[in-house]
Amino acid sequence: MVAPDHRVIHLRDKFEKVNIEDVEWMKALASEAGWIIITADVRIRRNPHEVAAWKEAGHTIFFLKPGWTDLTFWDQVNKFTKCFPDIIKEAERAERGSAFFVTVNGKIESLN
């Protein structure tokens, strides 16, 4: 069971800047422990500057594999809420800076 103190916070709710760069928000979150990043932006793992910022921040990151963005909003919500407890469990076991893929079917694959 997922502890009730886990929350999902959208990037726009955390940062006022509308188009904040990935490196900027990653560096800003580096001073706050315990963040788990969930993103559909798989390009982050290919950009050396973004990878360095994420590794330096030490946050665990889950990349939603291609296919998630092809779903309707409500299908995304439905699938995400079903796999959220598994994401939390995996994040709690993960080493700092770990990375994972989450398939549309909820399978979690380590990228480490």
Which range of residues forms the domain containing residue 85?
11-110
How many domains would you assign to the chain? Answer: 1
**68 found inside a domain:** yes
pLDDT digits 0-9 by tens, 60-89: 999 999 899 999 999 999 999 999 999 999
Of 101, 89, 94, 37, residue with least CA distance to 64? 101
**5 found inside a domain:** no
Q: What is the DSSP letter of 71?
A: S
Task: Give 46's pLDDT tier (boundaries 50, 70, 90).
Answer: confident
**52 found inside a domain:** yes
Rg of the chain, C-alpha, whole Å: 14
**66 found inside a domain:** yes
pLDDT at 3 over 60: no
Q: What is the predicted pLDDT for the residue at 32?
A: 83
Q: What is the predicted pLDDT for the residue at 104?
A: 94
**65 found inside a domain:** yes
**6 found inside a domain:** no
Which value, to the nearest 10 degrees, does the dihedral of the CA atoms of residues 76, 111, 88, 22 take?
-70
Distances (CA, A) of 84 to 8, 57, 71, 90, 95: 10, 22, 17, 10, 18
